[in-house]
């Protein structure tokens, strides 16, 4: 019975991949990224062609655009500019600081999730054409 209780508590303290995706996507929206749903088969195919759940950085003529595609959790595309990305970084820093300040059983989980969110902020340069996604 005691072993069951330990596994139950460990299960409650972890976050599923879908919950992590939801949290990351909430952070994107909070930072000012726009949200577009792939509501046609054509848009869904375009969305599938992008690297999934990676923050993509596209630079063209001194304009930087960030993309985040998630075909599994929401069939959607998030887009933001440099200002939105900087807000996202500040949110991540704040989250990490809060996690380190918390005490008790949940602090280890929160620090781990904050570290994963920091990893989420790492961008991948995307040299492809983003024009099809601008009028998505």
Tell me the pLDDT of the chain (136 aa) as tens digits: 443 333 333 344 445 555 555 578 889 999 999 999 999 999 999 999 999 999 999 998 889 999 999 999 899 999 999 999 999 998 887 776 566 556 554 455 544 555 555 566 778 888 888 777 776 6
127 to each of 38, 47, 63, 81, how far by Cα in Å? 22, 16, 13, 16
The whole-angstrom separation of Cα 136 and Cα 117 is: 27
What is the reported pTM? 0.70
Give residue-wise pLDDT tens across range 11-29: 444 455 555 555 788 899 9
Identify the sign of the CA torsion 102, 108, 111, 117: negative
């Amino acid at each position: 019975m005691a072993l069951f209780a330990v596994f139950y508590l460990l299960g409650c303290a972890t976050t599923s991949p879908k919950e992590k995706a939801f949290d990351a996507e909430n952070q994107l929206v909070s930072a000012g990224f726009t949200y577009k749903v792939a509501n046609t088969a054509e848009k869904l195919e375009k969305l599938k062609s992008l690297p999934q759940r990676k923050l993509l950085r596209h630079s063209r003529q001194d304009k930087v655009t960030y993309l985040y595609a998630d075909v599994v959790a929401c069939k959607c595309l998030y887009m933001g500019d440099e200002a939105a990305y900087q807000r996202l970084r500040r949110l991540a820093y704040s989250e990490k600081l809060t996690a380190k300040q918390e005490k008790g059983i949940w602090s280890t989980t929160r620090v781990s999730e904050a570290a994963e969110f920091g990893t989420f902020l790492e961008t991948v340069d995307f040299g492809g054409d983003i024009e099809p996604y601008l009028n998505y």
